Amino acid sequence: MWVQDHFKPRPTDIFLASFPKSGTTWLKALIFATVNRTRYGFADHPLLTTGPHDCFPFLDAHLQEKDRSRFDLDRFPSPRLLSIHIPYILLPNSMTDHQSCRFVYICRDPKDVLVSKWLFLNKLRPKDLPPISLEEAFELFCQGISHYGPFWDHVLGYWEGSLETPEKILFLKYEDLKKEPLVVVKRLGDFLGYPFSLEEESKGVVEEIVKLCSFENLSTLEVNKVSEQKFSKDTIIDNRHFFRKGKVGDWKTYLTTEMVERLDEITYEKLLGSGLVFGS
Ligand code: A3P
């Protein structure tokens, strides 16, 4: 409601939208590095000392921040990089109309999202409460009881938006990024209006960005191992919790055959006719 009533987008704003645990942290780093590549050298890049969530904050955090001077959106330089988990359907027209800002949406196989989310939430859970069982997390996920609504509605909202206005919404999959990071980062540069020149390509700038933002690099940096991220007065999360395995298909370690069948069936039914598919 605050975003609908008060947020004033700028035409240059870049939003990263995602369902939680779909690769937000990775994309924050990649977009930040791509957009700011002429400002910073790779040897002393801000991402080496500042976590991706500080470089590319959540708009949602603003809503919880009582001290507005800590997060004054009007004073952010353009292009503002802002991350959201808000479903597409809830965004105000000022954000979704054709002329204004751009969105990059990152999605991921729901089986990996479920496992990542379950393990993440258990790490954040107060120690005096019992951990959430996988069975309980699975049931809630299947019923669509999730932060920011059902997974499938979230993904479909941005998918359909990207079909209607492809110049405004770039729809990416975590699995594609894993498979062909160079191709995806080049697409990202083109889409955001920061295309890589032939000279940059020949100098290996795209490779440098991919390396800088890789799981292997970011997860071993001091800032991401020991620091915590203050999203608001009451929401403080250790940066290390945003880096677990960073793999495709880790659901195979946790989900039973029955769980896989049920989740795949729901996904098939929900996405039927949309043209959107997830890997096997
Ligand atoms: P896993 O729990 O499967 O390892 P989000 O950033 O949306 O919260 O998503 C977190 C997921 O992205 C976690 O998945 C995390 O390990 C993975 N991740 C974080 N940084 C990554 C990177 N640089 N490359 C690939 N995956 C990354």
CATH number for the domain including 193?
Answer: 3.40.50.300
Q: Is the pLDDT of residue 229 over 70?
A: yes
The verdict on whether 85 is a catalytic residue reads yes
Residue nearest to atom 27 of ligand 1 (CA): 246
Distance in Å, CA 219 to ligand 1 centroid: 10
72 within a domain of the structure (yes/no): yes
Distance in Å, CA 69 to ligand 1 centroid: 30
Are residues 10 and 78 in contact, defined by beta-carbon separation less than 8 angstroms? yes
Residues 6+ apart with CB under 8 A from 239: 51, 53, 223, 224, 225, 226, 227, 228, 229
Confidence band for 189, pLDDT divided at 50, 70 and 90:
very high
Confidence band for 236, pLDDT divided at 50, 70 and 90:
confident
The number of C-alpha atoms within 13 Å of 29 and in the hemisphere containing its C-beta is 27
280 within a domain of the structure (yes/no): no
194 within a domain of the structure (yes/no): yes
- The CB of 231 under 6 Å from ligand 1? The reply is no
Residue with tokens 């940059």: 200
256 within a domain of the structure (yes/no): no
Domain count across the chain = 1
- The CB of 162 under 6 Å from ligand 1? The reply is no
Residues in the chain: 280
Q: What is the pLDDT of residues 102-157, one digit of tens each?
A: 999 999 999 999 999 999 999 999 889 999 999 999 999 999 999 899 999 999 99
Confidence band for 237, pLDDT divided at 50, 70 and 90:
confident
Q: Is the pLDDT of residue 163 over 60?
A: yes
Catalytic residue among 45, 53, 85, 154: 85
Confidence band for 9, pLDDT divided at 50, 70 and 90:
very high
Q: Is the pLDDT of residue 21 over 70?
A: yes
191 within a domain of the structure (yes/no): yes
122 within a domain of the structure (yes/no): no
